[in-house]
Amino acid sequence: MADKILIVDDDLDSLKLIGLMLQRHGYEVVAANAGTQALAKATSEHPNLIILDVMMPDMDGYEVCRRLRANPDTRGIPIIMFTAKTLVDDKVAGFEAGADDYLTKPTHPAELASRVKNVLSRTTTQKKPEPTRAAAIGVIGVKGGVGATTIALNVAAAFSLKSESAIVADFRLGSGSLGLQLGFPQSTGMANVLSKPPTEIRASLLEGEMVTHQSGLRALLSSAHSKESLLNYPLEAASTVVKTLRTMGTMTVFDLGPGLSTTTNRLQKEMDQLLLVIEPNPVSLAMAKDLLQELEQTNPGSGRIHIVVVNRVQSSVQTPWHEVEQALGRELRAIIASAHDQLFQAARAAVPAVISQPNAIVSSQIVKLAEDVSARMKVAAGEPRP
């Protein structure tokens, strides 16, 4: 298959000329005549190389280059800057922005073909392996107070017990309680990250805002400070956080909060697996049925949504598990026993229950849930179930 090259230039004559020269050498050519269009096509077309003009009206080539390097999906694409500027400082600026090579206009077709061939060859032989795309598991409570945060925290901790590079992330700005349960009540890492432009959200920023629990579990936390809930951020910023965290761990568990919000609806579409946490009572079931219908529209029949029942009251006033399955039309993935004392002690010690009380029934149930979800992800990815 021919290498695909994206040419970016606001001069249509240059686009046609360069495109024709490259097509004669057997390359597939894609064109863009503006910086914003270039960013979009780089993401959608996945070119093997980008030839990027510096002087463009909407966004100069240096800024386009910087944004391409900041995006995990495009940072590995080699870039040749192409411009009429000939000063050494201009070339230095191009390389500092992240260019792999620099050509000045006009250029001989033979030189262009040679540079393209060399950059593609160098990239093929020296290219670093792409970061592993970690699994993303979202946890949504059918409503507030059903124990979704406790499930998210302990599932992530269960992964960390298996020597996974596990991360837990809390998107509940202004009502985050993960930090309280882990002993980091003042951590505002998620709000600090989301206050940045999406182009500035990268692994180094997230590493600086994450905390590491004594167990080794890493966390990007929201606080319970009400002012955090007033933070106005673009959905693209939240989506970029998810995509970036995927490159930083083997398993990332996201506490998405209760119900559906604009942000939650966007993020749940990016999850490999979803745990929907409910209580076994008529109100919770009615809400769960409606929420399931909305979630299923994203990827119907994929089997990525799992129902987790948390028992929080005496069994005599609970809906039996078989009636829960009948009402929702699906098998329950886990039934978590009522364990107020154990969970209270774990929160007081700021250590997840699966770590502080590994022999407790509730801990065993959550560890089994994590193992089951992990096994199902491997099967979905084509790997044999252990």
Whether 18 and 151 map to the same domain: the answer is no
Q: Give the residue carrying structure tokens 């393209």.
A: 116
Whether 57 and 200 map to the same domain: the answer is no
Whether 187 and 310 map to the same domain: the answer is yes
Average of per-residue pLDDT across 51-71: 88
- Choose the final residue of a domain: 70, 91, 126: 126
58 within some domain? yes
Distances (CA, A) of 137 to 61, 256, 316, 352: 37, 10, 32, 18
Residue 315 sits in a domain of what CATH number?
A: 3.40.50.300
The CB-side HSE value for 27 (13 A sphere, CA atoms) comes to 25
320 within some domain? yes
pLDDT reported for residue 322: 87
386 within some domain? no
| Number of domains the chain is built from | 2
Nearest to 81 by CA among 46, 114, 116: 116
- Choose the final residue of a domain: 97, 126, 155: 126
Whether 180 and 100 map to the same domain: the answer is no
d(CA 358, CA 367): 9
Average of per-residue pLDDT across 176-190: 93
What are 358-370's pLDDT values in tens digits?
989 999 999 999 9
Whether 190 and 234 map to the same domain: the answer is yes
pLDDT reported for residue 376: 81
Whether 295 and 208 map to the same domain: the answer is yes
What are 118-159's pLDDT values in tens digits?
888 876 654 444 444 678 999 999 998 889 999 999 999 999
Does residue 386 surpass a pLDDT of 50? no
Whether 203 and 255 map to the same domain: the answer is yes
385 within some domain? no
The answer to whether the pTM exceeds 0.85 is no
Does residue 6 surpass a pLDDT of 60? yes
To the nearest whole number, what is the mean pLDDT of the chain?
87
Radius of gyration of the chain (CA): 25
Residue 63 sits in a domain of what CATH number?
A: 3.40.50.2300
The one-letter amino acid at 269:
K
> Would you place residue 378 in the very low, low, confident or very high pLDDT band (cuts 50, 70, 90)?
confident
pLDDT reported for residue 383: 52
Whether 91 and 144 map to the same domain: the answer is no
369 within some domain? yes
Strand partners, 137: 253, 273
45-59, 129-143, 161-175, 366-380: segment of lowest average pLDDT: 129-143
Does residue 181 surpass a pLDDT of 80? yes
Helix (H, G, I), strand (E, B) or coil at 52: strand
What are 9-27's pLDDT values in tens digits?
988 888 898 899 899 999 9
Whether 251 and 106 map to the same domain: the answer is no
Does residue 55 surpass a pLDDT of 60? yes
Whether 212 and 236 map to the same domain: the answer is yes
Say how many C-beta atoms besides its own lie within 10 A of residue 366's C-beta.
Answer: 25
What are 269-305's pLDDT values in tens digits?
999 999 999 999 999 999 999 999 999 888 776 789 9
4-8, 115-119, 241-245, 315-319: segment of lowest average pLDDT: 315-319
Would strands 218-220 and 211-212 be described as parallel, antiparallel, or unpaired? antiparallel
- Choose the final residue of a domain: 126, 156, 187: 126
Whether 150 and 72 map to the same domain: the answer is no
The one-letter amino acid at 49:
L
Residue 279 near residue 319, CB atoms below 8 Å: no
Whether 108 and 204 map to the same domain: the answer is no
Walk across the sheet containing 211-212 and list its strands: 211-212, 218-220, 166-170, 251-258, 135-141, 273-278, 305-310, 332-336
Q: Which domain holds residue 313?
A: 135-380
d(CA 216, CA 157): 9
Nearest to 153 by CA among 312, 359, 352: 352
121-135, 188-202, 220-234, 340-354: segment of lowest average pLDDT: 121-135
Average of per-residue pLDDT across 36-47: 90
267 within some domain? yes
